[in-house]
Chains A and B, each alone.
Chain A
Amino acid sequence: MAFEEQLDLSSPVHEIRTESLKHFEENGFPSKKDEAWKYTSLAKLIKSDYSIFPKEETTIELKDVKKYFLFEIDTYKIVFIDGVYSPFLSDTTHDGIDVCLLSAALSKDKYKKTITTYFNTIAKKDDNLTALNTSFTKEGAYIFIPKSVVAEKPIQILHFATGKQGPILLQPRNLIVVEENAQVQIVERHQSLVPHQIMSNSVTEIFAAKKAVIDYYKVQNDLDEASLIDNTYVAQKTKSNVSVHTFSFGGKLTRNNLNFYQKGEYIDSIMKGVTIIGDQQHVDHFTLVDHAQPNCESHQDYKGIYSDKSVGVFNGKIYVNRIAQKTNAFQKNNNILLDDTATINTKPQLEIFADDVKCSHGCTIGQLDEDALFYLRSRGIPKKEAKGLLTYAFANNVLESVKIPTLKARINKLIANKLGVNIGHDL
């Protein structure tokens, strides 16, 4: 294979790559015939002739991309431009924790043990897109937080795309390992800088050891030409707490495959999302929580606001194993369609094999409350603004659990801007 020339054949993951490629070659891209892809078609996206490894490095000025960073606070940063690491824009560390590149971790002996213990162990081997990513595993973020260490500042992972050399298929691969009692906050963003066709097929594996706390935030507000398939796999051990917030505000097509595997007791898994799209955009949240052990909880709260021929999909699968007694699993998916042209397909999928569990799910699709609208208008707030304010309030409720205040304010403002509401901050 031609691309192998650009990969390190002696790498500990070489065999895994070869197997994954074989799987992908045999199975190809998922199609609408696959139950899991019933409402999301990749047909148009995969027609393009993508280049996989950029021929040359592209540099960008900090001032041009500063707004995509949480620049107001001190953070670690791992930044890529068209899949290539940008040392100039990054701020990595090996001081107490490892915040660096997967390519470095794959090539250096001192990381070998971590790589062989964790790499590609929870990513689904029979998932075609994950297999595609695995077969091209080359670069991404590597984060290792050792036992009892609390990362003192958040980590930002930024993938910029310029697409200067025509359509690009980016395949970032992130590995995040958080040991016992350790804590970390991570913000991830994929951002195109020019309106070229970009497709990202990203895979992230997250390991939370006993009592670990991980807060992961995905900011998806890309240009109309860019698409993202995000495959995130989370494995949790006893008493760990992992939250993933996904903010989907833009991009041509976004598919979030978010999988939680509970491998211990007294685990809390939190999945939250706000989706606000229009203009023929498409966002699909496909979640799985595997309750394999007793006494665990999962909380899902996804809110969507759709307008102007946009399409939303929510498919939430909760699996409760026969031995997973005392499971508490909650799932909510509330949607507002702002006009007749938008579509939402929402489907809870509960498979419960234990008898002593509390599981609830609720999906709603609605319009705005007329009484609330009149209340606002009677105070002098024009109809359009009143609608915006109510929609804003609906979406904003999800932000309460965001633990990085700067990020919360930023998202708050993004929501307000998306909905044309002139607030976002309290006095």
Chain B
Amino acid sequence: MLLINDLHATVEGKEILKGINLEVKAGEVHAIMGPNGSGKSTLSSVIAGNEDYEVEKGTISLSGESLEEIDAEERAHKGIFLSFQYPVEIPGVTVTNFIKTAINASRKAQGLEDMPAKDMLKNIREKAALLEIDSKFLSRSLNEGFSGGEKKRNEIFQMAMLEPKLAILDETDSGLDIDALKIVANGVNKLKSKENAVVVITHYQRLLDYIVPDFVHVLHDGKIVKSGTKELAHELEAKGYDWIKQLVN
């Protein structure tokens, strides 16, 4: 589904990604782990199409289609979803209005009519229930004054609504207490299917107890230096990132 080949990317002239190779197939869960500054968030931003990052070399393709020169919104229409590490606060737009606009924008791109209000409401109710989101929450301004846990739950709620092919969860566990973590992980697990894939980006192994990966990759200095199965995450947790640095050197 997602194929990344020798990807090099820079931000403000500084090279962050230095040759990433990664293949994610439908139905799989991949975890990307690594110390701070290794390029985890850059990788997710580049896949999602953030124009602050420049792809210098290499390719990214989704279901065989190159993403070169494809805008962020079109990538979303093709089924890429990024759960933000720091969701942006947007006062004046309610969660409901936002998600409604997003869904209808995607439908429009596919040549479909707006989703009927009745179906939209039903869908919102179901997905909100899945993430134990209160209906009052939906009429609040997007992320404004939300707690860390609320923001992350709201991200996964959007994922549930948009039903992406490829979901990238960027540090979704940061700022979550254990109860919120379980709710979020439960939501992600219920949305998983044979047709979609999930890439979990995390610093710690904790989230991977709840969203169990098929593969684990370790990112260091802009490259994937080690790949393995879920046991690699445990090993990493036990030995620490210094172990990786030694390995590389």
Contact = CB atoms under 8 A, between A and B. Distances in A.
Interface of A: 369-372, 374-383, 385-386, 389-390, 392-397, 422-423, 426-427
Contacts of B52: 370, 374
Give the 10 A-B residue pairs with the shortest CB-CB distance, closest first: A393-B92, A380-B76, A377-B72, A379-B102, A375-B88, A380-B106, A396-B92, A393-B93, A377-B73, A372-B88
Nearest to B107: A380
A378 B72 contact: yes
Nearest to A397: B92
Interface in B46-66: 48-52
17 contacts: A372-B90, A374-B52, A378-B49, A378-B82, A378-B84, A379-B162, A380-B76, A381-B101, A382-B105, A385-B101, A390-B90, A392-B93, A393-B91, A422-B104, A423-B101, A426-B94, A427-B100
Contacts of B72: 374, 377-378
Nearest to A380: B76
A291 to B, nearest CB: 29
A288 to B, nearest CB: 29
A371 B51 CA distance: 10
Interface in B6-36: none
A423 B77 CA distance: 20
A36 to B, nearest CB: 33
Contacts of A383: 71, 73
A381 B73 contact: yes
A418 to B, nearest CB: 15
B92 A377 contact: no
Contact of B84 (A375, A380, A397, A427): A375
A334 to B, nearest CB: 12
A8 B71 CA distance: 69
Contacts of B73: 377-378, 380-383, 386
What secondary structure prevails in chain A residues at the interface with B?
helix
Identify the interface centre among B94, B97, B109: most chain A CB within 10 Å of its CB.
B97
B120 interface: yes
Contacts of B42: none
Given A379-B98, A389-B101, 9 more contacts: A369-B88, A375-B84, A378-B48, A379-B76, A386-B73, A393-B92, A397-B91, A426-B94, A427-B124
A427 B101 contact: no
Interface string B155-183: 00010001000000000000000000000
Contact of A427 (B49, B76, B121, B162): B121
Nearest to A369: B88
Interface string B175-200: 00000000000000000000000000
B147 interface: no
A16 B98 CA distance: 56
Contacts of B93: 389, 392-393, 396
B117 interface: yes
A416 to B, nearest CB: 10
B97 A426 contact: yes
Nearest to A398: B92
Contacts of A389: 93, 98, 101
Contacts of B76: 377-380
B120 A427 contact: yes
B139 interface: yes
B5 interface: no
Contacts of B100: 423, 427
B96 interface: yes
B90 A427 contact: no
Identify the interface centre among B71, B81, B103, B105: most chain A CB within 10 Å of its CB.
B105
Contacts of B98: 376, 379, 389
A379 B106 CA distance: 8
A386 B101 CA distance: 9
Interface in B69-90: 71-73, 75-77, 81-82, 84, 87-88, 90
Interface string B104-148: 111001000000010011001000000000000001010000000
A381 B77 CA distance: 9
B34 to A, nearest CB: 22
Contacts of B102: 376, 379-381
Contacts of B124: 427
Given A374-B51, A389-B93, A427-B96, A380 B77 contact: yes
A225 B60 CA distance: 53
A426 B52 CA distance: 33
Contact of B97 (A369, A371, A379, A423): A423
Contacts of B101: 381, 385, 389, 422-423
A427 B117 contact: yes
A161 B242 CA distance: 78
Nearest to A381: B105
